[in-house]
Amino acid sequence: MAKPSYLSMRTIEDSHLEGWEMIDSGGFGHVYKVKHRQWCSNVAIKLLRFDDSQTLLRELNMMYQGSSPYVIQVLGIFRGQLPSNPSSTQLGLVMELMERGSVAFLQKSLPGPPPWPLVFRMAHQVALGINFLHCLCPPVLHLDLKPSNVLLDPSLNAKLTDFGLSRFYHSSTQLSKKDTETEGGGTLPYMPPEAFDVNYKPKQASDIYSYGILLWSIVTGRKPYEHATSDLVRLLIPEGQRPSLDDIRSQVTGVAGLEVLMAVMEKCWRGNQDQRPSAHVCTTVTEELYKVHKHAMVDVVHQVLKELDQQEEGLVEQVQKVHISEVSVGARREEVNLYDSVPTGPAPVQPTRSSVHSSHNRVQNMFPELRRCSISSLLPCFPSPPSREYYINMSDVTGIQYGNGNTMHINLHERKRHPSAPPSVNFPSTQPGSRLDKKES
């Protein structure tokens, strides 16, 4: 057998690359977005977590064999040092960069499932990728089909990626533990029932089962068995348990072709391998379903891209508007004036002592990016109208946050007992039976 021509592929040195940015990480390793100086374009570089050249070359071989418009393209082999670790030389895969991330990212970004025309196109394009792999000689099995392994280009076209678990059909060797985090290979909710057998030998039907579960996830926008434990999933899948179709059935009458697509799911995830359809059948059926919705595709893609861009711009805008600065706090008890010269709506309700305890969650809801801040105690952020002042007496709190929505100030104050303070303090009574009604001794 002649040596595969992928071994003669170009080697890309680190001197040709700049702007390393990690965009994905998992059990397999890390994926970086990098700019190629000579090509004047961005590429993706995948570095395996395990320093195993055989594993890398095997995946490269699979990707080279599976090159098609619906399988991500490999551009070369990376060999060099990372800016973060210049002491060691690493090998990696250089691939085309899919600007819109994965189907999993799309599911997290959209408030619900993708629009129906996009659902049917993704179903068809994934089937095209699987069918291409299964038509090779020998057939290539992907063995890890799931939303995070379906990438999207700038126009939201789908391509298969991640061939770390792929095998040629004539090879029935078991997967090693370092190839995957789950037993037997693949991702647990997408694995076929036969994969839980100790004598499991992957076939094309194994990919078809995973495709059926993947279809369900694309249509619903959810993860299968998201509330079940791994042990329960491993137990019930071989007994015939599958994701619920109730939500899909409720929409069948209003969506052309959805009933047929649901039937494809059910046939793909049958327990008997021999009763599952081939990838060619799945491709043929989904092509006809996609034709029904194809006329609306341009508008739908524009709509989704606009929504994704608005979310990204909104996040950047919020980060730019929020300014965190340290302000010194002198005495244990002081007054803070909050004011703003920009109209921001009616005056908010003055905070009470009890509201301090729940303020941290409210601030996180208002400004999600502040979750990165390691601040243990925050007071609510109160936008205020012009010419109004609010006074907060800091008697038993250790921090305060105030601002107007455009600028935020956070004061953190560590309470310390003054050396000249008396050994006990009698607080005035505010409410009968309250904590302040009792004497400290």
How many angstroms separate the CA atoms of 441 and 425, rounded? Answer: 7
* pTM (2 d.p.): 0.65
Are 118 and 297 a contacting pair, CB within 8 Å? yes
Whether residues 85 and 115 fall in one domain = no
Whether residues 108 and 92 fall in one domain = no
Whether residues 84 and 108 fall in one domain = no
How many CA atoms are closer than 13 Å to the CA of 106, on its beta-carbon side? 34
Whether residues 180 and 240 fall in one domain = yes
Domain presence at residue 1: no
Cα–Cα nearest to 410, from 353, 318, 326: 326
Active site residues: 144
> Dihedral angle at the C-alpha atoms of 348, 350, 356, 358, nearest 10 degrees?
-40
How many angstroms separate the CA atoms of 354 and 205, rounded? Answer: 60
Domain presence at residue 180: yes
Whether residues 21 and 67 fall in one domain = yes
CA angle 53, 56, 58 (to 5 degrees): 110
How do 17-26 and 29-36 pair as beta strands? antiparallel
Q: What is the DSSP letter of 37?
A: T
| pLDDT at residue 67, rounded to an integer | 66
> Dihedral angle at the C-alpha atoms of 80, 86, 90, 92, nearest 10 degrees?
-70
Q: Which of 72, 96, 120 is the last residue of a domain?
A: 96
Are 166 and 142 a contacting pair, CB within 8 Å? yes
| The two structure tokens encoding residue 112 | 């619900």
Whether residues 108 and 228 fall in one domain = yes
Q: Tell me the CA end-to-end span of the chain in Å, nearest whole number.
A: 89
The CATH number of the domain where 78 resides is what?
3.30.200.20
- Whole domain around residue 88: which residue ranges? 8-96
The CATH number of the domain where 279 resides is what?
1.10.510.10
Report the SS3 class of residue 339: coil
Are 243 and 216 a contacting pair, CB within 8 Å? yes
| pLDDT at residue 85, rounded to an integer | 78
| pLDDT at residue 400, rounded to an integer | 56
Domain presence at residue 317: no
Q: Which of 305, 340, 375 is the last residue of a domain?
A: 305
How do 74-82 and 11-13 pair as beta strands? parallel
Query: What is the count of structural domains for the chain?
Result: 3
Whether residues 283 and 197 fall in one domain = yes
Q: Which of 305, 333, 348 is the last residue of a domain?
A: 305
Give the DSSP letter string of 184-245: TSS-GGGS-GGGGSTT----HHHHHHHHHHHHHHHHH-S-TTTTS-HHHHHHHTTTT-----
Query: Cα Rg for the chain, rounded, in angstroms?
Result: 29
Give the DSSP letter string of 237-282: TTTT-----HHHHTTGGGSTTHHHHHHHHHHHT-SSGGGSPPHHHH
| The two structure tokens encoding residue 66 | 């599976």
Q: What is the DSSP letter of 361?
A: H
Whether residues 290 and 369 fall in one domain = no
| pLDDT at residue 180, rounded to an integer | 36
Q: What sign for the dihedral angle of Cα 111, 112, 116, 119?
A: positive
Domain presence at residue 315: no
Cα–Cα nearest to 221, from 125, 98, 304: 304
How many angstroms separate the CA atoms of 152 and 156, rounded? Answer: 5
| pLDDT at residue 389, rounded to an integer | 46
Assess whether the previous peptide bond of 138 is cis (omega < 30° from 0): yes
Cα–Cα nearest to 60, from 50, 46, 49: 46
Which H or E element spans position 432? Answer: none
Q: Which residues of the chain carry a pLDDT beneath 70? A: 1-9, 26-28, 49-67, 163-185, 314-441
Whether residues 340 and 238 fall in one domain = no
Whether residues 244 and 185 fall in one domain = yes
Cα–Cα nearest to 410, from 347, 340, 329: 329
How many angstroms separate the CA atoms of 373 and 355, rounded? Answer: 21
Whether residues 90 and 121 fall in one domain = no
Which one-letter amino acid corresponds to residue 387? S
| pLDDT at residue 76, rounded to an integer | 82
Domain presence at residue 424: yes
Whether residues 200 and 58 fall in one domain = no
> Dihedral angle at the C-alpha atoms of 33, 110, 127, 64, nearest 10 degrees?
0
